[in-house]
């Protein structure tokens, strides 16, 4: 029997010994040594606190640095902050910024494609979590033509060139020094070294695996990415992955004030003291519009199901007319908002600035009203979806 191309490739791809060795060497002590050590030795609170501090610094360097700054250019950072990310990101041992961010751009460009997405969720949970690193799959081969900005970044290139040194020193120096200081080198090496690295790895890997399998899809159903509050807590805010895949250049992943996104707070804090700038945000109307489009998709599915099952006919037609009306309203609001937005952008040009400023208040009020109309429409279309479901009664 003929095998699909991607399955043949799985069996053919050679083992990536460097990654396999690195993952084995960092995992085996956690499984084979740590449990016995903890059973027979007292490990002080300082060891656990330092392990947690390193874990936070590593993860924030990956989420705010490798991911939102370098892979997505969601904001600009002062060189001091970039050096911090380069050092503590290397300590997380997830490859250099250049390779990590380049592969991540490919993931976004070809999300779910079994042959081109380096960690495609369509190849299964294990593959997207860890399996993709164990072999040299063609999709993971870095395509630096996607990263001219990274190739021109001196800090990125220095970290790439001396990555091994960065990774070794950033792990060994603080862990051994603190171990010597507190008189517990073995405890520090096992807990603040190996265990911290193991936890840090798998929390990041969850973003490629769990965040594509488990959760809701409020913004887009065109890919497998999910929003998941629980995962957001484990991943420094990266659990709002459905939003992120639609609006990847937003410096926020959890866009609401109540959503747990420490990476967003971290970036905003540095912006408040001048070490980060140009924080990019998707306009609220576009976010609301995306939610409404998803709601339409679900309502339409309920509508079609109603038609199949022979719903109460008059009621069905009445609801369908309401759907048509809502769709018309949505299209008109989007067109009007697009028009106002382009006027606003054009006004940024000096020659008509005065004209825009004159009418700015009126425009701002209208744009706010359009945002609100989308929020209300999201509720109305949701109600229609439920009414369609209720209208499904045997004829
Ligand atoms: Zn993803
Ligand atoms: Zn991303």
Q: How far is the CA of 74 from the centre of ligand 1 (A)?
A: 16
> Ligand 2 center to residue 6 CA distance, Å?
24
| Distance from Cα 52 to the centre of ligand 2, integer Å | 24
- Cβ partners under 8 Å of residue 340, min gap 6: 363, 366, 367, 370
Dihedral over alpha carbons 183, 185, 186, 187 (to 10 degrees): 70
Q: In angstroms, what is the span from residue 109 Cα to ligand 1's centroid?
A: 10
Looking at the structure, tell me whether residues 206 and 292 fall in a common domain.
no
Q: Are 51 and 196 in contact (CB under 8 A)?
A: yes
Compute the distance from residue 70 Cα to the ligand 2 centre, in Å. 10
- Among all chains, which residue has been given the structure tokens 């399998």? 213
**Confidence at residue 3, expressed as pLDDT on a 0 to 100 scale:** 44
Distance 67 CA to ligand 2 centre (A): 6
Which ligand is located closest to the Cα atom of residue 208?
1
Q: Give the residue from 259, 277, 295 where a domain finishes.
A: 277
Ligand nearest to the CA of 101: 2
Q: Are residues 34 and 149 in the same domain?
A: yes
Do 67 and 178 reside in the same domain of the chain? yes
My answer on whether 270 and 304 are in the same domain is no
Q: Closest-lying ligand to the alpha carbon of 74?
A: 2
Q: What integer pLDDT is reported at residue 2 of this predicted model? A: 41
* Coil vs helix vs strand at 259: coil
From the CA of 71, which ligand is nearest?
Answer: 2
One domain for residues 32 and 123: yes
Same domain, 117 and 214: yes
Give, rounded to a whole angstrom, the gap between the first and last alpha carbons of the chain.
47
In tens digits, the chain (395 residues) has pLDDT values of 344 445 555 557 899 999 999 999 999 999 999 999 999 998 899 999 999 999 999 999 999 999 999 999 999 999 999 999 999 999 999 999 999 999 999 999 999 999 999 999 999 999 999 999 999 898 888 889 999 999 999 999 999 999 999 999 999 999 999 999 999 999 999 999 999 999 999 999 999 999 999 999 999 999 999 999 999 999 999 999 999 999 999 999 999 999 999 999 999 999 999 999 999 999 999 999 999 999 999 999 888 887 776 666 778 888 889 999 999 999 999 999 999 988 888 877 655 656 666 667 778 888 889 989 999 999 999 998 888 887 765 54
* Ligand of minimum distance to the alpha carbon of 118: 1
Distance 149 CA to ligand 1 centre (A): 21
300 and 252 in a common domain: no
**Tokens 């439920």 identify what position?**
386
CA of 278 to the centre of ligand 1 (A): 24
For 12, the token pair is 């053919």
Strands in the chain per DSSP E? 76-77, 276-277
- How many A from CA of 245 to the centre of ligand 2? 7
**Cα–Cα dist 267/287, whole Å:** 21
Question: How many other C-beta atoms are found inside a 10 Å radius of the C-beta of residue 266?
Answer: 19
Domain boundary among 277, 304, 331: 277
Q: Which residue range forms the structural domain that includes residue 289?
A: 284-391
Structural domain total, the chain: 2
Residue 102 tokens read as 């380049």
- Shared-domain flag, residues 71 and 190: yes
Same domain? For 249 and 292 the reply is no
Write down the pLDDT at residue 353. 59
Tell me: do 271 and 303 sit in the same domain: no
Are residue 30 and residue 84 in the same domain, yes or no?
yes
Report the C-alpha gap between 80 and 83 in whole angstroms. Answer: 5
CA of 238 to the centre of ligand 2 (A): 9
* Cβ-Cβ contacts under 8 Å for 377 (sequence gap 6 or more): 292, 326, 329, 330, 333
Counting ligands in written order, the one closest to the CA of 225 is: 1
How many whole angstroms from 72 Cα to the centroid of ligand 2? 7
Question: Which residue among 261, 277, 293 closes a domain?
Answer: 277
- The Å distance, Cα 271 to ligand 2 centre, comes to 21
Measure 228 CA to ligand 1 centroid, in angstroms.
13
Please tell me the number of the ligand nearest to residue 242's CA.
1
Between the CA of 101 and the centroid of ligand 2 the distance, in Å, is 9
163 alpha carbon to ligand 2 midpoint, in Å? Answer: 22
pTM beyond 0.85: yes
Note whether 155 and 268 are same-domain residues.
Answer: yes
Write out the two tokens for 85: 């990310």
- Ligand 2 center–CA 213 separation, angstroms: 16
- Distance from the CA of 312 to the center of ligand 1, in angstroms? 42
Beta bridge partners of residue 216, listed in sequence order:
227
254-to-50, 205, 207, 237, 328 alpha-carbon distances in Å: 27, 19, 14, 6, 30
State which H helix or E strand residue 77 sits in: strand 76-77
What's the pLDDT score for residue 356? 60
């Amino acid at each position: 029997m003929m095998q699909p191309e991607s399955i043949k490739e799985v069996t053919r791809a050679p083992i990536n010994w460097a990654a396999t060795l690195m993952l084995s060497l960092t995992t085996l002590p956690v499984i084979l040594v740590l449990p016995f050590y903890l059973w027979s030795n007292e490990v002080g609170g300082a060891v656990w606190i330092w392990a947690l501090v390193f874990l936070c610094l590593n993860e924030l360097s990956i989420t705010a640095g490798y991911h939102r700054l370098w892979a997505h250019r969601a904001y600009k950072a002062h060189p001091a902050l970039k050096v911090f990310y380069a050092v503590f990101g290397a300590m997380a041992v997830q490859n250099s910024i250049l390779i990590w961010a380049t592969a991540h751009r490919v993931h976004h460009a070809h999300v779910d494609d079994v042959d081109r997405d380096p960690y495609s969720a369509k190849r299964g949970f294990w593959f997207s979590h860890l399996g993709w690193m164990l072999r040299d799959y063609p999709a993971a081969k870095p395509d630096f033509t996607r990263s001219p900005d990274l190739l021109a970044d001196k800090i990125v290139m220095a970290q790439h060139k001396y990555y091994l040194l960065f990774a070794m020193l950033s792990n060994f120096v603080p862990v051994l020094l603190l171990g010597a200081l507190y008189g517990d080198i073995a405890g520090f090496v096992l807990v603040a070294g190996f265990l911290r690295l193991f936890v840090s790895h798998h929390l990041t890997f969850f973003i490629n695996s769990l965040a594509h399998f488990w959760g809701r899809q409020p913004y887009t159903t065109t890919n497998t990415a999910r929003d998941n509050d629980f995962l957001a807590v484990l991943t420094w805010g990266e659990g709002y992955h459905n939003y992120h895949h639609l609006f990847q250049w937003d410096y926020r992943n959890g866009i609401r004030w109540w959503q747990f996104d420490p990476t967003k707070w971290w970036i905003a804090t540095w912006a408040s003291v001048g070490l980060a700038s140009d924080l990019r945000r998707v306009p609220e109307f576009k976010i609301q519009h995306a939610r409404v489009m998803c709601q339409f998709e679900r309502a339409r599915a309920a509508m079609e199901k109603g038609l199949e099952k022979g719903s109460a006919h008059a009621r069905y037609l009445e609801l369908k007319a309401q759907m048509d009306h809502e769709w018309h309203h949505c299209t008109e609001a989007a067109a009007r908002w697009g028009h106002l937005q382009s006027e606003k952008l054009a006004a940024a040009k000096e020659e008509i600035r005065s004209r825009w400023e004159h009418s700015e208040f009126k425009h701002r009020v209208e744009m706010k009203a359009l945002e609100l109309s989308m929020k209300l429409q999201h509720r109305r279309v949701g109600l229609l979806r439920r009414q369609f479901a209720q209208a499904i009664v045997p004829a």
